[in-house]
Amino acid sequence: MSAEVTLGVDIGTSGVRIAAVDAGKTVRAMATAPIPAPLTVNGRIRQDPALWWDAVLAAFGKLDLKGLAVRALAVDGTSGTILAIGDDGAPAGLASMYNDPCGKAELARIAAAAPRETAALGGTSPLARAMEIQGRGARILHQADWIMGRLTGHSGVTDENNALKSGYDPVARQWPAWIAAAGFDPALFPRVVPAGTMVAGIATKIARQLGLPEDVAVVAGTTDGCAAFLASGAAEPGDGVTSLGSTLTLKLLTLQPVFAPDFGIYSHRIGAQWLAGGASNTGGAVLASYFSPEQLTRLTPLLDPRRPTGLDYYPLAKPGERFPVNDPDLPPRLEPRPADDRLFLQGMLEGIARIEADAYAKLEALGASPLASIRTAGGGAANAAWTAIRLQALGVPARPSLSEHAAVGAALLAWRGTGHAH
């Protein structure tokens, strides 16, 4: 008897990954295919959408679904990547990537019309970039929308998470009136549905091309960041996920949304809950500025989390902090430096752990659910000593992450679309 699975299709920055996940959250198959790097044209960052679809086809060609019965699929894409399409659904030009800088005039019009809490502000605002290209096609889509349209044959739907940075109001659940006041016709955007909503069946021709059953359901997906959070297995209010990369990124499931523009915080709606998050400038980059990988490997086993150093550090690679403190001039605090490199490293890790704890406490102070458990992603997740230091500072239990692959999170979202609770 075939095992039932759903598929998550992750359109990432450098490739496509597809994961097949069963009802027990076990990954049964996975395949990847690369996407060429975007083009930089006159300072703008663009890409041919056909490359995304080619990578989807290539990844499906590698996906081994023997003994598996696919029920549904969902797509996640890079947050803020947009494109204009014609009446036939074909791209009307190159896509504007998530990190493509937007025009200052358009951004100024948004700032004059929009509330401060909107996620549509910032130097790469997808709404500002949509204002630049309106008139070039019949509709403007997000990356995941277009792939979903290729799968279903219809290009008129987006999800609440991809729509957020385009100005969508997830509390009122509508495109707000200020978008038109800023000079953009919101009718050019797709109809918005909650992430995890069953949208349509897969197009028969596409099902045959991909080797899928013709009754596969297509479920509204999400952004790559939200999908990566879901992939961790976090599902309850108070579940937090910290990414220990070059910077420190935190995300927390909460019963109440948090919008705090001074700290760069906004919230995605996922089911009956909200996903709030923020980012600090501390993290692996400051460690790398003082220690080589070889030194970190040598010193880490010598750390003693049971004996705090007493050093009061605020590790930053350069002045400036975003969250939990909003101070563009905040100086790094890494003095005094002990002669023993082991103590210096442990003091830095303790400082980063305090910043993490302060950040989750700040989210709670702003109205989020209190942190109840922590999962960890990123390169620092494998450092046992750092984990022990962090758990002492956070005061909550650690939970193992199910996966770090956004495709797994998209597949779990597809299960929700079938009515299966995940």
> What confidence tens digit (pLDDT) does each residue in 290-302 have?
999 999 999 999 9
d(CA 404, CA 234): 12
Closest CA to 79 of 162, 171, 192: 162
Domain membership of residue 399 (yes or no) is no
Q: How confident is the model at residue 357 (pLDDT cuts 50, 70, 90)?
A: very high
406, 8 Cβ separation under 8 angstroms: yes
State the pLDDT at residue 422: 62
- Across the chain, mean pLDDT equals 96
* Host domain of residue 160: 3-228+405-417
Q: How confident is the model at residue 380 (pLDDT cuts 50, 70, 90)?
A: confident
**Does 244 share its domain with 373?**
yes
**Does 198 share its domain with 314?**
no
**Does 249 share its domain with 180?**
no
Give yes or no for residue 407 having a pLDDT over 80.
yes
d(CA 245, CA 233): 19
Q: How confident is the model at residue 421 (pLDDT cuts 50, 70, 90)?
A: low
**Does 220 share its domain with 334?**
no
d(CA 182, CA 344): 51
**Does 383 share its domain with 409?**
no
Global pTM reads 0.95
Strand-pairing partners, residue 29, are 20
Domain membership of residue 266 (yes or no) is yes
**Does 67 share its domain with 157?**
yes
**Does 241 share its domain with 147?**
no
**Does 41 share its domain with 173?**
yes
**Does 221 share its domain with 252?**
no
Q: How confident is the model at residue 131 (pLDDT cuts 50, 70, 90)?
A: very high
**Does 11 share its domain with 159?**
yes
Number of folded domains that form the chain: 2
Q: Is the dihedral of CA 118, 123, 127, 132 positive or negative?
A: positive
**Does 224 share its domain with 274?**
no
Domain membership of residue 422 (yes or no) is no
Return the exposure string of 200-236: e unless at least 16 CB atoms fall within 10 Å of the residue's CB, then b: bbbbeebbeebebeeebbbbbbbbbbbbbbbbbbbbe
The CATH number of the domain where 267 resides is what?
Answer: 3.30.420.40
Query: DSSP class of residue 385?
Result: H
Q: Over pLDDT 90: what percentage of the chain?
A: 95
Give tens-digit pLDDT for 75-107: 999 999 999 999 999 999 999 999 999 999 999
Per the model's pLDDT, the better-predicted residue between 137 and 168 turns out to be: 168
Q: How confident is the model at residue 2 (pLDDT cuts 50, 70, 90)?
A: confident
Q: How confident is the model at residue 155 (pLDDT cuts 50, 70, 90)?
A: confident
Closest CA to 136 of 76, 46, 52: 46
State the pLDDT at residue 379: 84
Chain centroid, CA 281 distance in Å? 17
